[in-house]
Amino acid sequence: MKKCSKCNQAKDDTEFYRCRTSLDGLEGACKKCRNKNSQANYRANREYYVKFFREREQRPERRAYRRAYDRAYQRSDRLQVKARISLTNALRAGTVTRQPCEVCGNIESQGHHDDYSKPLDVRWLCFQHHREHHGQIVSQMT
């Protein structure tokens, strides 16, 4: 439990962002107060932020990055991208639940689509077994 420096309420540690510089490893203000403060700051200085982001997007390195990203997206299989988005949305909504790896039972699994036209029909594989399924070499960390 920690006391928020803004609202002075005692809250669970999960209600605070991490901070490497503080002694307890947590921010002084809770997430809710931090978010309110950020929103108020943005509203108060909206013109500055709009101008900043507009100018930043005109920088050559940002434009090059955006063009490269757009080309990569255009090259990728759109059906594959749609299937990934559908699965992510279903996981977020709770209509699909993440299962352990079919091979080893690892709970940190990834959804593998055998058929992209069925976006919610996936096999759950851990990172290693997913790569092996695709014929990619996975280096073992020791």
The tens digit of pLDDT for each residue in 73-126 reads 666 678 888 898 999 999 999 999 999 999 999 999 999 999 888 999 999 999
The pair of structure tokens assigned to 30 is 């809770």
Burial of 122 (0-12, 13-18, 19+ CB in 10 A): buried
Tell me what pLDDT residue 142 has: 42
Shortest CA distance to 113 belongs to which of 134, 132, 94?
A: 134
Which residue from 27, 38, 41, 30 is spatially nearest to 6, judged by alpha carbons?
30
Q: Is the pLDDT of residue 3 over 90?
A: yes
State the average pLDDT for the chain: 89
pTM score of the predicted model: 0.47
Contact 125, 106 (CB under 8 A): no
Tokens (6 digits) for 89 = 């949305």
Burial label for 109, CB within 10 Å (0-12, 13-18, 19+), is: buried
